[in-house]
Structure formats: C-alpha cells, structure tokens
Structure 1
Amino acid sequence: MTARTTYLEPDVLRALQKAGAAAKHGFGDPVLAELVMIRASQINACAFCLDMHVDVAVEKNGESAKRIALLNAWREAGDLYSERERAALALTEAVTVLTDGFVPDDAYESAAKQFTEPQLAHLIGLIAVINSWNRLMVTRRIEPGGPAW
C-alpha cells in the first residue's frame, strides 16, 4: 500500500497535537491512556497509530505484551483488566463506533462511576483525538513507521 499523501495541514497538526497533550495530561493515567488509544486504533484499523501506541505502551510505560495482545478481547480476558480499565475501554468502543448514533447510557455511566468528572472529560477528549488521528492516517494510507506529515 502506498500513501496517498503525507501532507497534513500544519494548523490541523498543531491543533491535534495540542488537544492530545491536554487530554493525556489531564487524564493522569498514561498506561490506561495508551490502552484507550490502542483499542480505538484497533477498531479503526489504523496500523500507523497501533504501531506508535503499542511502542509507547511497552517501551515507555512498561505495559505487558499479554495485556496488549488480549486488548481486542478485553471482555473475555477475565481479571486481566481492572474495573476502571474495563469502563474506559467500553466507553472507548462506544464513542469510536457510535453504531446507534449515540453513546449508550450504560457505557457512559460505568465510566462516570470510575472517573472524576474532569478525568472523564479528559478521557472523552482523548478518545475523540485518537479517532481523529486514526481517520487522518487511514484516509491518507500512512503505514506503520511511515512519514505522517
């Protein structure tokens, strides 16, 4: 597969970088932030973002290969993921897919029980930002390790 274009409007690039940094910083849990970004990127089939965020999760945050390998099946993985992580992953899937055109109450309420209101706002921002990145990379066909901009 060849990239369609590597050009990314500089103002869009800066805005997404700034929004992503703000969401991560305010969320305060770098390990879970990477799991959320990996899960959204799995759903969106974004190889570029998967490659990047798996590396960050493992090399920078010490995440285990097992937890990353089973992330796609987190519901069936028993106690491998905490209740808090499971709530964040369920919300990630609901926001990413929007099958019914809205985020189901149970996904939102489960996350709201696990996170403070500011943390939840940052989590939702983080999910929105990674979905934006996924769409930019998949649309432009940017391969893992390839030039993104």
Structure 2
Amino acid sequence: MTAHTHTPRMDLSRLAPDVYQAMLALDQAASKGFDPTIAELVRIRASQINHCALCIHMHSNDARAAGETEERVLLLNAWAEAGVFSEREQAALALTEAVTVLTDGFVPDEVYERAAAHFSEEELARLISLIFTINAWNRIGVTTRQGPRRG
C-alpha cells in the first residue's frame, strides 16, 4: 500500500451539495431508533477496513463523547479476540465486516443469521442501512482524500 498526500482532492459538499444533503438524510434515516453505541462501533469498524481516516477520527471522537471507553475504541480492530464486546455487538461487527468486504461477493449465511439472532427485523434493517451508509461515506472520504479535521 502506498502513502497518499493529505491534500484533499475536492469538497464534495460544496461541489455536489444535493448529493451531500441526500447522504446526510440517508445517514439520519439509517440511524433512527438504532442503538447509538452499536451504530458508532459499526461506523468505526467499517471505516477502519476502508482506511477512511476522516471517518475513523470523527466516529471515534463521537463514540468517546457518547461515553464509549478508550479501551473499547482501541480494541475495535481486534473485536473478536478482545473480550470486551457483547455477543450482540460482536454480531453487528461480524455483519459489518462481511458487508464491507463482501468476500467472494456475498455475506455468508452464518454471519447474517448470527446478526438476525441478536436484532429484530427492524433493527437488522437499520443495521444493514448503517453499514451501507458508512461504506458510502468512507468511499467519499477516501476518494476525495478528506482527512481528519483538527482543531
């Protein structure tokens, strides 16, 4: 993997404000009524996989501000081995990884069924929506080379 310059390529929010506003509305709709702790864990984990520095930074800070511990944020990259995430959180993170990576072009039945065992149908629909929404945000951030905002 090669290092990239940290100079942003473009400001999508300025150049395509309708798309940006639609993404914000999609993000809000996907999150509606869903467990905010799990939502931030999902956002961080997908962003780690996609190497989106902007989203990792933003959602790690959001998670901490909402009361998430530093230990759990730091261990998220090794969630399956960490021993600090609930079965429900692990099911959400496994689904996040499967949907984000789409290994061999599909989400394995056992991963989907694990998540379905821990979430109601409505919650599962929101979880899947959160996952594809953060993946879209990651692709915007990585493609336009948006880095963490400091200050």
> Normalising by structure 1, what TM-score?
0.93
**RMSD of the TM alignment (CA)?**
1.0
Structure 2 residue 121 is matched with structure 1 residue 125:
no
Greater mean alpha carbon deviation, residues 8-17 or residues 108-117: 8-17
Identity within the alignment, %: 59
- Counterpart of 1:58, as a letter, is R
Q: Which residue of 2 aligns with 1:57?
A: 63
Aligned residues: 143
Taking CA–CA contacts closer than 8 Å with sequence separation of 6 or more, which of the two structures ends up with the larger relative contact order? 1
Structure 2 residue 74 is matched with structure 1 residue 69:
yes
Structure 2 residue 103 is matched with structure 1 residue 99:
yes
1:1-149 mapped onto 2 (5 Å cutoff): 1-8=6-13, 9-27=16-34, 29-59=35-65, 61-78=66-83, 80-145=84-149
In structure 2, runs of 5+ residues without a counterpart are 1-5
> Normalising by structure 2, what TM-score?
0.92
Partner Cα distance (1:25, 1:53) in 2: 17
What SS does structure 2 have at the residue aligned with 1:70? helix
In structure 1, runs of 5+ residues without a counterpart are none
Partner Cα distance (1:62, 1:145) in 2: 21
